[in-house]
């Protein structure tokens, strides 16, 4: 056989094996998909190609107000993307008028970041996005540069602290004033106690951070699951029939919340921690002192976000319900309510045709003081407020300069009455 024939035959064999490996999930199909996905992310950042940050919305040209008298009182904190790939947090009223905003430029806030591996260093605007944010009692803001670090700024935009740890997704303030935030550890070498965990892989962590930016507690999700004999969930993301090997983003922790002392205990106890693991469709509640899991539910939702405590026996969950490629046209997300004591689930919102919402990733919800429900439709750049009768009483669209286009929103939170116009004006005078 001459060289040309040999090369041609080899090419045919490689091509056929490639099709077979993809069809039956053989080596190296999983590894190639992971490499390709990461390459696309890097190429997108280098070229500034972040088109997923913006969505066409030709029918949304103004802020619609439906029933202003039924809207829960208070200003709203919005976290999202505005013109020219600009990250911002802003405080708005129900008319959409901005009372104050922070422009958050990764390159200005963290120009000397040395804690990030070179291949993860942002390249091109906006560099990253803000996922997880909170307005503190003194007017400071705390937020995550997604997977890159935690930052606290005052009302004037001055840096209070920066925590060089890969925080992400959410920030929850506990009764004692500390913050609980999702984190992660990347493992480049195998761990003897975790067979079939193929490097590189990520262990999600739950971290407790003090008011001045120091980590006081770090809890491993892998350790919690193993200690509670949930090894089956630890290998749920495997793609092979005869091999339980897992790698990469195994769980995708996307929320941490503490059961507050203001609620009466039931199955859940004061100080318990609830976490959401998107990639294995699981939410569980555990005791941070003993790591004992008090309650766990899997498979009642699809790639969920933002579970919230309702009472000592009940939680609500943002069910992204990501099961259709074409999204809103064929699918809708839901807010579901789950009784841990009765093991029952109901759909509270999302199945009403008049105001369906859909976000294939991200998304949050908030129960308001008057019984209304605030829903963030992140990937469509919209916030909805429903009254107790599940009627739409308010919405906000994150419109940008280009007519008929909205920017994605990672956060929308109705503020308590202490954060009124007087509070903001007083704080801003101190900046002058």
- CB-based contact 414:74 (threshold 8 Å): yes
| Strand partners for 411 | 79
CB 182 within 8 A of CB 253: yes
Strands 246-248 and 197-209, how do they pair?
parallel
Instruction: At 138, give phi and psi (nearest 5°).
Output: -90, 5
Task: With cut-offs at 50, 70 and 90, classify the pLDDT of residue 39.
Answer: very low
pLDDT of residue 19: 53
Average pLDDT over residues 235-262: 94
pLDDT tens digits, one per residue of 106-162: 999 999 888 888 888 888 889 899 999 999 999 999 999 999 999 999 999 999 999
Q: What is the average pLDDT score of the chain?
A: 88
Q: How far is CA 259 from CA 97, 145, 269, 290, 314, in A?
A: 34, 25, 7, 16, 11
**Residue 320 pLDDT > 90:** yes
**pLDDT value for 6:** 53
Cβ atoms of 306 and 276 closer than 8 Å: yes
**pLDDT tens digits, one per residue of 326-357:** 555 678 999 999 999 998 999 999 987 778 89
Q: What is the pLDDT of residue 67?
A: 87
Task: List Cβ neighbours of 374 (8 Å cut-off, separation of 6 or more).
Answer: 72, 76, 365, 366, 367, 368, 383, 384, 385, 412, 413, 414
For residue 30, the model assigns a pLDDT of 45
Contact 238, 245 (CB under 8 A): yes
Selection from 361, 382, 367, 416 nearest residue 169 by Cα = 361
Torsion (CA) 234, 239, 241, 242 in degrees, nearest 10: -60
Confidence class of residue 25 from pLDDT cuts 50, 70 and 90? very low
Query: Which of 56-60, 119-123, 373-377 ranks highest by mean pLDDT?
Result: 373-377
pTM here is: 0.87
The two three-digit tokens of residue 380, written as one number: 């469509």
Q: What integer pLDDT is reported at residue 120 of this predicted model?
A: 82
Size of the chain, expressed as the number of residues it contains: 432
Checking if the pLDDT of 49 tops 80, the result is no
DSSP letter, residue 72: P
Contact criterion met (CB below 8 Å) for 397 and 73? no
Note the pLDDT of residue 324. 73
Distance CA 312, CA 309 (A): 7
With H, G, I as helix, E, B as strand and everything else as coil, classify residue 242: coil
Which long-range contacts link 373-377 to residues 24+ away (Cβ below 8 Å)?
373/335, 373/348, 373/349, 374/72, 374/76, 374/412, 374/413, 374/414, 375/318, 375/335, 375/349, 376/409, 376/411, 376/412, 377/333, 377/409
């Amino acid at each position: 056989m001459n060289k040309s024939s040999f090369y041609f035959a080899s090419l045919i064999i490689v091509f056929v094996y490639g099709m077979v490996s993809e069809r039956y999930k053989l080596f190296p199909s999983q590894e190639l998909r992971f490499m390709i996905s990461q390459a696309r992310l890097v190429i997108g950042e280098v070229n500034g190609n972040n088109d997923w940050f913006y969505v066409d919305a030709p029918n949304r040209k103004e802020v619609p107000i439906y029933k202003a008298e039924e809207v829960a009182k208070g200003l709203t904190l919005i976290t999202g993307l505005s013109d020219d790939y600009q990250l911002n947090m802003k405080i708005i009223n129900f008319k959409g008028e901005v009372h104050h905003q922070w422009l958050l430029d990764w390159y200005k806030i963290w120009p000397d970041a040395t804690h990030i591996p070179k291949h993860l260093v942002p390249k091109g605007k906006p560099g990253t996005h803000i996922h997880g944010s909170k307005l503190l009692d003194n007017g400071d803001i705390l937020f995550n540069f997604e997977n890159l670090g935690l930052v606290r700024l005052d009302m004037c935009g001055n840096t209070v602290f920066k925590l060089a740890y890969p925080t992400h997704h959410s920030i929850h303030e506990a009764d004692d004033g500390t913050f609980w935030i999702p984190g992660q550890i990347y493992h480049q070498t195998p761990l003897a106690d975790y067979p079939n965990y193929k490097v590189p892989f990520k262990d999600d962590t739950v971290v407790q951070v003090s008011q001045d930016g120091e980590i006081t507690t770090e809890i491993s999700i892998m350790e919690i699951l193993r200690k509670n004999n949930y090894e089956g969930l630890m290998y749920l993301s495997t793609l092979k029939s005869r091999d339980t090997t897992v790698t990469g983003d195994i769980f995708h922790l996307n929320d941490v919340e503490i059961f507050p002392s203001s609620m009466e205990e039931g199955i859940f106890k004061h100080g318990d921690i609830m976490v959401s693991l998107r990639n294995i469709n699981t939410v569980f509640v555990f005791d941070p002192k003993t790591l004992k899991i008090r309650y766990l539910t899997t498979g009642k939702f699809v790639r969920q976000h933002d579970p919230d405590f309702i009472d000592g026996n009940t939680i609500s969950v943002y069910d992204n319900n990501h099961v259709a490629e074409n999204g809103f046209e064929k699918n809708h997300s839901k807010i579901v309510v789950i009784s841990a004591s009765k093991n029952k689930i109901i759909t509270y919102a999302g199945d009403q045709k008049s105001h369906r919402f859909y976000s294939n990733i991200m998304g949050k919800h908030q129960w308001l003081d008057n019984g209304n429900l605030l829903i963030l439709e992140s990937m469509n750049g919209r916030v909805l407020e429903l009254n107790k009768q599940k009627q739409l009483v308010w919405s906000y669209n994150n419109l940008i300069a280009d007519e008929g286009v909205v920017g994605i929103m990672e956060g929308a939170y109705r503020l308590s009455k202490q954060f009124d116009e007087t509070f903001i004006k007083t704080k801003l005078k101190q900046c002058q």
